[in-house]
Every structure is written in structure tokens, then in C-alpha cells.
Amino acid sequence: MDGQVGARTDETSAGFAESEARIAALLAAQKAAWASDVTPDHTTRDDRLARLDRMVDSWQDRFVAAISEDFGNRPAVVTTLTDIVPVRAAIRHARRQLRAWMRPQRVSLAWTGIPASAVILRQPLGVVGIVGPWNYPLNLVLSPLIGALAAGNRAMLKPSELTPAYSQALAHAIAETFAEDEVAVVTGGPDVAAAFTAAPFDHLVFTGSTAVGRKVAEAAAKNLTPVTLELGGKSPAILDLSAQFDKAVPRLVWGKLLNSGQTCVAPDYALVPRGRVAEFLSAVKAEVGRQYPGLPANPDYTSIISVRHFSRLIRLVEEARDTGAEAVELGGSHDPERRMFSPVALIGAPDETAVMCEEIFGPILPIVPYDTLDQAIAYINQRDRPLALYWFGEDKAAQERVLTGTIAGGVTVNDTILHLAQDDLPFGGVGASGYGAYHGEAGFLALSKEKPVLKQSAISGVKLLYPPYGRLADWMLKLLGRIG
């Protein structure tokens, strides 16, 4: 969506109306289909997941090629590792666990409810809208779709307009795999995005920037549509005084430069003990050379998605340098024609500069020196709560202080990003980095209604409290007040 959801101008009104009508027709068809089978059985849900798995498998090479075309250059290994493999693993996980997730959950009753019984039924919500970003265009659309299908919902997907080749491939793949009233893809630009987020879905999942997430939440609120917002922010990496740089730096560099930093959970900046900054910078520069020799021509390195984003990264570095930061090239020169932005470290960037206020979403690594761990924790807590936090070190007491003293959407200790790949760990933000979560059972529950059901028995003491009230009711209320 890339900042495109918002107020409409007169010029876009006609396009919005056309998109709104098309989306409304699709939504009506899906809601009608859902109403004919409100709570699909296990066989139906498992079949939909199996078809999705076969689709990803058979379309893998075409998806990889289309995504690379959209980026300019994106290695097949990167797309397979970050988009294909996690999605197929999540499908298999959901199919294995589906019966257990669907099972009604028995709950205990207070003694006043006995001999009644109570359960929680997990039912689908209806039709789920899913708005995906451009950076991991397959993973971040199909991962929430897995939860939607497992929970028994229908779904409509809106991929990013910045990945047109992939979006068309996805539309063809979904149309080949699912009936339109099961799963449908809607493609297009800002007018389509605005119409999509304004539609009265039963739930809306959005992955993207915090700025656009606010607009999505506002649009959904008009329909009282509940939303799951997976946003971003500035995810810190703390290098503890006890950190071993020979272990920590390769893992941090991998996480920072995966997809050229165009990752919502990439380490955004590094907090480094003041006395170890020079050592850290030297280790980072050497590791960049090991992982990506010959930049910017290295074929394993990913292009920046668009000219606008490439120019934005240039401006971030220039502004920081102009206000006193030291800019250190970590790999080589940039290649504007191929949108290859070589990694840059920034030391001493003022807090008010854009690179320290905005999510970077690229291969720029600000280094923030700190004197004490409490100072590092305070620096994080003075800012919006991040989507991810990373800590490197050997000191278990320091690790515990960071884990208990900060709030973040998710944490990986002594590595980066890997918490995101675990299907039994919920993925979600907090505060400005989003709300709600999915992955595994968390995704199933996010897109289900947990309906409480009490089943009264033939024998019930509640009738002792029916009117007309008298001494018996008074006695019962006193009894309940003491032991209820």
C-alpha cells in the first residue's frame, strides 16, 4: 500500500467508485457462500489448505521470477527462504494441528452453575480482507490466509501495487486454485486500496507502515471492522558489554541485509557500548565484505524496490551527514541504475534526524553508543514500542533485565529475525508497531469467534431466585455473598 490509503481527490473519485462496486460484489458473493456453510467441517478446511500448498508448490518458480522482476534483482534463494519455505511450513503446521484447534474447549463452572456445562466454540468470522505489503509479497499475504482458511473463513486478498508482476501471478494462481467465493485477489493502485480497506469485512489484516496503518484503522472503524495491524518501526539490536562480536556480528549483518534491509523486523539501529564502537564497526565492515563481496554487483544482493525508495535512502544518509553524523561505507558505491544501495553505517546521527525517527527499511545501520545497560533500556523505552528487539550477549542477568525492562512485539536473543519463523510463536506488534497477532494457533484464534456456550441441565437451582422475592431469596443472596 506504501502510503497510498487516505483521502481521495476528485480525480480519483471515479476510480474509487468503480473499485468499490467490484469489491462490494465480490464481498457479497463470499458472504453469501459463507452463510450457506457457516462453520465448515475439518475436511473442507483441510482441503482448502491442501490446495493452497499445492498452488505454492506448482507456482513457486513463477512466483520467484515475478518477485525478482518487481524488485529488479532479488535472488531466488532469498524469495525461497523468506516467502516460499515459511508459507509451506505454516500450511503443514496448520493441517497437523487443525483438529485440535477446532475442538470445542471445555471450561469449568462456578459451583453456582453446577450441574450445567460450558464450552467455548471456535467459529469462523465470515469474510477476511488481507492487505499485503511489497517487501515479502507472498509470505505476508498467504500467512494470514492460512489462518483465515484454517478458521473456516472466506478471504479477499489485496497485494501491493509495487509488485505488479507478482500480483498478476498471484491472481492467476488463486483463480486456478479456488472458487471466487472462497478466495479472491483484487489488484490495483491507490483507488483499489482505499475501496478495499473501506469495505465491511468481518476482519481486516493489514501489513505495512505505521502511517498507512493509522489510515487503515480509521477506514475500518467506520464499519466497526476489527483489524490486525502488522506495522513496523525502529527495532533495536542491543550489543551487551558481554557480547562476543565474532558470534554476534555475522548474525546481525545477516538480519540487517536480508532483502537489503527491506524487512519489517530488520534490526533498525544498534546500541553498542561506547568503548566498543570502533571494534564493532570494524567487525561489521569485515562481515559485510564476507557475506556480500564485490558490492554493488553481487548477485546475492537485493535491489531497492523503487526509485522513490532508493532516493529516500540517499536523503536519509545525506541529512544525517549534514547534521554531523559520520557515514561509513560498508561495502562499496551505490548503483542507482540497478537500485543497488550498498550498506552504510552512521555514527552520531542526531535523534531528530529522519534516519533516527523513521523506520529505515533499507541497508543503513545507525550506531548508538551507550554507557550503561540502564541507559540503553531507557533509550528504547523513550521511543515507540518496536515490532522486534534483539539482544546479543553472554550475561544472563543483563539478558533478563532487557527482557523484563522493555516492551516489543517479539524478541530473538543472540540472533535476528528467527522468532518470526516459529509457527507456535505469535507474530504481532504493540503500540505503534501494531496490534493483534497471527501465525499458528494465534492466527486461527485471531480470525475466529470464540463463542461461549452454557448448557443448562434439567435440574437448576436458579429458580430459587425467581420472583416473587421473599425470605428464601434473601437467604440465597446472603449465601452467595459468602461463598459465591
Which one is catalytic: 180, 182, 218, 230? 230
462 and 447 Cβ atoms separated by less than 8 Å:
no
Q: How many CB atoms lie within 10 A of CB 336?
A: 14
Choosing from 264, 287, 359, 441, the catalytic residue is 264
- Give a three-class secondary structure readout of the chain: CCCCCCCCCHHHHHHHHHHHHHHHHHHHHHHHHHHCCCCCCHHHHHHHHHHHHHHHHHHHHHHHHHHHHHHCCCCHHHHHHHHHHHHHHHHHHHHHHHHHHHCCEEECCCHHHCCCEEEEEEEECCEEEEECCCCCCCHHHHHHHHHHHHCCCEEEEECCCCCHHHHHHHHHHHHHHCCCCCEEECCCCHHHHHHHHHCCCCEEEEECCHHHHHHHHHHHHCCCCCEEEECCCCCEEEECCCCCHHHHHHHHHHHHHHHHHCCCCCCCEEEEEHHHHHHHHHHHHHHHHHHCCCCCCCCCCCCCCCHHHHHHHHHHHHHHHHCCCEEEECCCCCECCCCECCCEEEECCCCCCHHHHCCCCCCEEEEEEECCHHHHHHHHHCCCCCCCEEEECCCHHHHHHHHHHCCCCCEEECCCCHHHHCCCCCEECCHHHEECEECHHHHHHHCEEEEEEEECCCCCHHHHHCCCCCHHHHHHHHHHHHHC
Q: Is 264 noted as a catalytic residue in this protein?
A: yes
Among all residues, which ones are annotated catalytic? 230, 264
